[in-house]
């Protein structure tokens, strides 16, 4: 029996603050954050991410953010593009609808983690998924949680000005 095709799965990590978080977080929050991480999953030559507009896709590196700040190799998957898109559409109708976006609880990194586990069984690095709790554990973060969540919808949608490749 011929071996199944393995498709590489990558995690694109972007620092939304473009270095500002690393500099300012000690002053603003009182603890050191290395970045405000936004992630997306790249598989089948497409980049998939979750925002306030729901699940979107684009060519890899094709968002407003430009090229990723770092790329994490998640692994490889046998899941074909057809199955993956089916999976994403069911995700988009259930767990990852656009209005479900929450900057702290259910954001792009939540989506990336979910998809990574589906595709490879592995989770994304914890420093990304721990970011909301890191921020909320500070006085500043907890205080402005409502403010941030209010704008989280916009944040999730900013990268969607690109035409999805699908």
Partner 1 sequence: MPHLISRTPRIAESGRPSGLPADKNISSSVTRVIVKTPGKQEDFMIADDTLVRQFKEELSAHFKCQVDQLVLVFMGRLLQDHDTLSQRGIMDGHTIHLVIKSKHGSRSLAQSFPNLPTNEPCHQDRNTTGNSSGVFQPARVSPTPLESALFVEPDALKVHMQDLEVGSPECIAQMLENPTIQQLLSNTDLMRQFFSEHPDMQQLMQQNPEVSHIFDNSEILWQTVELARNLAMIQEIMQIQQPAQNLENPLNSESHLGLETIPGGDNVQTLPMGQSYADFNDQMVNSSQDPFGGNLLSALLEGQVPEQIQSSSPSPSPPQEWQDQLPQLPTTQVIYTSSCGLSPITSASATSNKVNHTSRTKTDTMAQSHTCSIQQSAGVPALPSIELTQQPQAEDKDATNSLDSSGQRLEDDFQLSDEQTSSQITGTMMQLLLNNPYLAAQMMMFMSMPQVPKIFSASKWTLSRPLELGTTTPTCRYLLPQRWTPALLSTSSRDPRDSNHHTYLFTCYLPADPFDHLICLFHLF
Which candidate in 38, 44, 58, 106 is catalytic? Answer: 38
Nearer to partner 1, 72 or 160 (CB): 160
Nearer to partner 1, 71 or 97 (CB): 97
Which candidate in 44, 58, 106, 108 is catalytic? Answer: 108
Cβ neighbourhood burial of 68 (10 Å; 0-12, 13-18, 19+) = buried
Nearer to partner 1, 71 or 144 (CB): 144
**38 flagged as catalytic:** yes
**Min separation Cβ 71 and partner 1, Å:** 18
**Cβ neighbours, 10 Å, residue 14:** 24
Q: How far apart are CA 164 and CA 160, in angstroms?
A: 8
Nearer to partner 1, 57 or 110 (CB): 57
**Token digits of residue 13:** 């990590």
**143 flagged as catalytic:** no
Q: How far apart are CA 48 and CA 15, in angstroms?
A: 17
**Min separation Cβ 120 and partner 1, Å:** 4
Q: What is the DSSP letter of 122?
A: -
**Min separation Cβ 102 and partner 1, Å:** 11
**Min separation Cβ 8 and partner 1, Å:** 11
The sheet that has 7-15: what strands, in order across it?
A: 54-58, 46-51, 37-43, 7-15, 70-77
**Cβ neighbours, 10 Å, residue 155:** 19
Mapped onto helix, strand or coil, the DSSP state of residue 126 is: helix
Which residues form the catalytic set? 38, 108
């Amino acid at each position: 029996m011929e071996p199944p095709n393995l498709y590489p799965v990558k995690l694109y990590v972007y620092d939304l603050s473009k270095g500002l978080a690393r500099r300012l977080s000690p002053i603003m929050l009182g603890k050191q954050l290395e970045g405000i991480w936004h992630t997306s999953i790249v598989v089948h030559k497409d980049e998939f991410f979750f925002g306030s507009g729901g699940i979107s896709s684009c060519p890899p590196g094709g968002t407003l953010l430009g090229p990723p700040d770092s790329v994490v190799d998640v692994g490889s998957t046998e899941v074909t593009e057809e199955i993956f898109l089916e999976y994403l559409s069911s995700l988009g109708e259930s767990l990852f609808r656009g209005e479900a976006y929450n900057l702290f609880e259910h954001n792009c990194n939540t989506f990336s983690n979910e998809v990574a586990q589906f595709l490879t069984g592995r989770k994304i690095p914890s420093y990304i998924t721990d970011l909301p709790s890191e921020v909320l554990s500070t006085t500043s973060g907890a205080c402005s949680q409502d403010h941030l969540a209010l704008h989280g919808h916009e944040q999730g949608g900013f990268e969607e000005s690109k035409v999805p490749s699908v």
